[in-house]
Structure 1
Amino acid sequence: MAKNIAGIPIRRVSAEFSGDDAVDLEIIEVSLGLSRITRSKSERDTKLMQVALAALRKVIEQYRSESGERYPEFGDFAAWIGIKTDNASHMDEHHHASSDVAELQNNVEKTEGQDAVA
């Protein structure tokens, strides 16, 4: 459950990426131009998470419509998007960083104006 501050739900997300995942994250940040529109690392991370959350919502909805499952299991969903279920931090070989960036950018373009991503 999210913490409330002045009646506003607050949820802190902390993650550490290494290797290819860290490089992929840097590529996505540069591709989206986050350093041009933010003043701090914290603000950049927040914007990145807002975009990632909006994209994740869209992908979950797509999975639900294709599978008929309202509440997908993590392992099934992760496998469907190409993440190895035995180690969720590494992408399958057929998913390459450039295709992931293109897919994320496509999802961002589709969500502009639909979700309140401030």
Structure 2
Amino acid sequence: MPSDTAGTQPALAALPLPEYDTLTQDQTRGATCVWDGTQLTGETAVDLGPRRDEDDVAWFPRACRPCAQRRAMDALILHSSVCEQCVDDHNRCPEGSTLVRAVREARR
């Protein structure tokens, strides 16, 4: 059974993001929220894990907590609506467990 404390970074890194080429430089370097452009600080930012664009260039998206939580919950609801295992017990589904961890991490 997955642990609540199991790597939250991979959980948040599983969230789908906007297309790289639609983002501002501040969004790709993590200075502003990747979804709504809110200015971020070390205290307000949620690290979404390093990513790579189509040219294999590293970028470092971050989000504000409200956006991260909303996007994690949306992804969990979407996944759970089509996953029989998640209906019974999300702990038996690796993707469901990862998304539950992402929701919890975004709340902290």
TM-score for both structures, normalised by structure 1: 0.33
Bigger Rg, structure 1 or 2: 1
Q: In proportion to residue count, which structure has more strand?
A: 2
TM-score for both structures, normalised by structure 2: 0.35
Q: In proportion to residue count, which structure has more helix?
A: 1
Structure possessing the higher relative contact order (Cα contacts under 8 Å, 6 or more residues apart): 2
